[in-house]
Structure 1
């Protein structure tokens, strides 16, 4: 029986390339072992069939940003807890980014822009330092959009109050843009969101939040992404 060898070493012999080129092909997701993408150069093979994709290039693998639709009932007290929901199996079939799923895309993901406690909807995890810095440094100016289903009777001039600056635990909250979407649903567009802010605002005018969903961060919206699934941020999109 032949001894197992590293995938990159086997590829060097197979296509007559350098070791460095072999590693770039593998890390780029261009090498298939028995029809399955393997992006680890150190992967050991024996008698498996190894193929190089016909469209293979030596372009460097870019850091990626993943968008998750956080489902109902998930505890986000730990910002990294939702990472367990991001797997190859939960990648939405309707991802139109054209980006191929690689194992390396699940490593070193940084959670950004915390979601309101108890809310569902859009969460962002990124390997891209530029995007992480953008979302952290510009948090005060990047608008977030939520919808909240509410119960109760709103106070007189309650909608006007919701659109005016409020104080929460001594913090002056910037004015929000709040409007009715239906008899029981409010839309919130806010910047520099403080934890618990939407529930606080609603309680202040006699309303109780029943459910809450984040739809958008900056220019990036969740779209029709199903709950519990994720997709890639396309290369031409920016927050």
Structure 2
């Protein structure tokens, strides 16, 4: 059976070499080879068995890409500036770098270029936010097939008399729908009388707040403390550090 040819940039993204956008840049620069021959035509197609390799310059450029972990405070948006609110990237400067950052990486303003949030954190939520120049990391954290879980501590208030019934807690774990679509199973447990711990494998807009609303809980505070294997740890609010090469989500 003949396999269908696919766009070279799509295939490179599927193989985890880089993002599609990076692939297109590298193809234009003549940094991509298919079966040993340079391919510099955008939109070129390849068959699944063909061998794709990249030039040294592409690997070097990719190695220079930084990923930054920030403890986002309330009042900042994750991505583009909106409604007069500043984006989290505006917090990043030499002065706000955490003194405890063990990375040897030197801060350069050029690192702020094409630094994109890999996932959202609402304006009124705090905690771990990842900003990256590396398309592979963005894909791993927010791609359609991402299996990276995220952990949150959520302070809540029950708006009905008494305590949240056990079957409503079960609903938070599995059975709710948002925008007409069933949510993936989540881990939800009480940490203490007014705080829940959520572990999710998806990140729909205002998901935890909307899940809580559905069972009569009002969210008072929300903090993300972990993404995959990377923990917020001792990083102070409004400060940031580099992801180190040996750290993996």
Q: Same fold (TM over 0.5)?
A: yes
Equivalenced residue count is 181
TM-score scaled by length of structure 2: 0.67
Aligned residue for 2:182, secondary structure, equals strand
Aligned to 1:127: 133
Aligned to 1:147: 153
> Structure 2 vs 1, CA of residues 133 and 140 (structure 1 numbering), >3 Å: closer, same or farther?
closer
Q: CA deviation at 1:121?
A: 0.8
**How large is the Cα RMSD of the aligned pairs?**
2.1
Q: CA deviation at 1:117?
A: 5.0
Aligned to 1:62: 64
Aligned to 2:100: 94
Deviations along 1:209-237, one digit per CA (max 9) or x if unpaired, are: 00001111111111110000000001101
Larger Rg: 1
Aligned residue for 2:174, secondary structure, equals coil
Aligned to 2:74: 72
For the Cα contact (< 8 Å) 1:155–1:205, is it kept in 2?
Answer: no
For the Cα contact (< 8 Å) 1:150–1:211, is it kept in 2?
Answer: yes
Aligned to 2:206: 196
Q: Which of 197, 205, 217 in structure 1 is aligned with 2:215? A: 205
Aligned residue for 2:65, secondary structure, equals coil
> Structure 2 vs 1, CA of residues 111 and 136 (structure 1 numbering), >3 Å: closer, same or farther?
same
User: Where in structure 2 are the equivalents of 1:14-29 lying within 5 Å?
Assistant: none
Aligned to 1:11: none
Aligned residue for 1:157, secondary structure, equals helix
Q: Which of 179, 187, 196 in structure 2 is aligned with 1:186? A: 196
Structure 2 spans left out of the alignment, 5+ residues: 1-59
Deviations along 1:159-209, one digit per CA (max 9) or x if unpaired, are: 222112311120110111001111100000001121121111112222110
- Bigger mean CA offset, 158-167 vs 190-199: 158-167
For the Cα contact (< 8 Å) 1:166–1:175, is it kept in 2?
Answer: no
Q: CA deviation at 1:111?
A: 1.6
Instruction: Return the alpha-carbon distance in structure 2 between the equivalents of residues 140 and 170 of structure 1.
Output: 21
Structure 1 spans left out of the alignment, 5+ residues: 1-58
User: Where in structure 2 are the equivalents of 1:25-64 lying within 5 Å?
Assistant: 62-64=64-66
Aligned residue for 1:105, secondary structure, equals helix
